[in-house]
Amino acid sequence: MSTQNPSSAGLAELYERAARILPELAEGAAERERERELPHAQIRRIAQARLFTFRIPAEYGGAGSSVQDVFRFVIDLAAADSNIAQAVRPDFGRVEALLAGPEAERRKWFPRFLAGDVFGNAGWEIGGSNGEIRSRITRHGDHFKVNGTKFYSTGALYADWIGAAALDDDGEKVFFTLPRDREGLHLIDDFDGVGQRLTASGTTRLDDVTVHPDEISIRDSGERRSPVTPFLQLYLAAVEAGIARNALTDAVDFARERARPIAHSTARRSVDDPYVQHAVGEIAARAYAAEAAVLHAAASIDRAWHAELRPDLLTLASVEVAQAQVFAIEGALKSAELLFDVGGGSATGRTHNLDRHWRNARTVANHNPRYWKAAVVGAFRLNGTEPPANGLF
């Protein structure tokens, strides 16, 4: 392999770019969500700054960073705007899948990331059993046609490329990636969740869409544990950690700038009220611990990579990620609740949009129930029972 591309950005430079962009994302986040303004320009700027390339190896022109490095950025991004952070989850997930996949796929798609392209996802469907795919892909001469409807198409409205899956005539799952302007590919902005409203996670409809053979990805069809799954699961925990930190930022700002002490308080300023101090201190502790848990679990994934994806280390990484998820979810939900203890009735005003933190944390948490995570961890610690080798662990 070649040496590092002279035009590539190293880790320090990516962090510097992030430090310039993230404050701008944070400044308008509450208003964007309140007014439902989809952050097209903001996501495009992240892509053009090559902030999806942390994990792309240096020989391909990326930063070649660790899993822990990229999650430091993801937490920062979620603390600025958790909607944007979750909307670009497919980009980071695809890079990770390419690292675990064949060389030909890396050479095909890494240049698109370096060029500033954005990738969306159209994988899940509603109806049927969990994870069931009913979309069909059939051969038509030298190409294929696909028909079906997808939901939870995270980030698709922002994307240049849409990744999806369908069953072929033999009932085998086929993965493919299409340009967003392909005829018959319809992206519908109809996501109506209580939180994460700007993730563009609506419906994708595939109406007799042409798929060329070179648009089909090579995937491992076995049941082996993959490093991509714990990465994607930890990504959700990182979003929760960012939400907790964002709640802390708003709690401090509200207490300093807007809150008044309750009538019978001995404090003249809200920031001197011991109960406000307690609430902010507890939020700070929970946000700090959630972030630490995510980064600790990220280091576990790194250890598996460094050991050439040794099965026992992959299993341990899946367990540690599940532990981090349980804690990060609870930390974000509690922080978002405690935020209202720093102010009185005015804190509930829609203009402040402080309820977005709880709504966003709750929506992310509902992706995968934390009680299942805790139970799987307990079974592993008690009996050595390995987590399921599916998309949730």
User: What is the structure's pLDDT at 124?
Assistant: 82
Residue 3 counted as domain residue: no
CA–centroid distance for 7 within its chain: 27
Same domain, 300 and 201: no
Which residues constitute the domain of residue 162? 136-215
| Residue 124 neighbours by CB distance under 10 Å | 19
Same domain, 164 and 188: yes
CB 151 within 8 A of CB 202: yes
Which of 57, 82, 117 is at the close of a domain?
Answer: 117
Residue 368 counted as domain residue: yes
**Which CATH number do you get for residue 345?**
1.20.140.10
Same domain, 161 and 270: no
Same domain, 250 and 334: yes
**Which CATH number do you get for residue 51?**
1.10.540.10
Residue 359 counted as domain residue: yes
Q: Indicate the pTM of the whole model.
A: 0.95
Which of 69, 86, 117 is at the close of a domain?
Answer: 117
Show the low-confidence residues of the chain (pLDDT under 50): 1-7
Same domain, 201 and 146: yes
Residue 47 counted as domain residue: yes
Residue 123 counted as domain residue: no
Count of domains for the chain: 3
Beta bridge partners of 257: none
Residue 308 counted as domain residue: yes
Which of 180, 215, 250 is at the close of a domain?
Answer: 215
Same domain, 330 and 279: yes
Residue 392 counted as domain residue: no
User: What is the structure's pLDDT at 3?
Assistant: 34
Same domain, 249 and 162: no
pLDDT tens profile 210-259: 999 999 997 655 567 999 999 999 999 999 999 999 999 999 999 899 76
User: What is the structure's pLDDT at 2?
Assistant: 33
> For residue 136, which phi and psi values (nearest 5 degrees)?
-125, 145
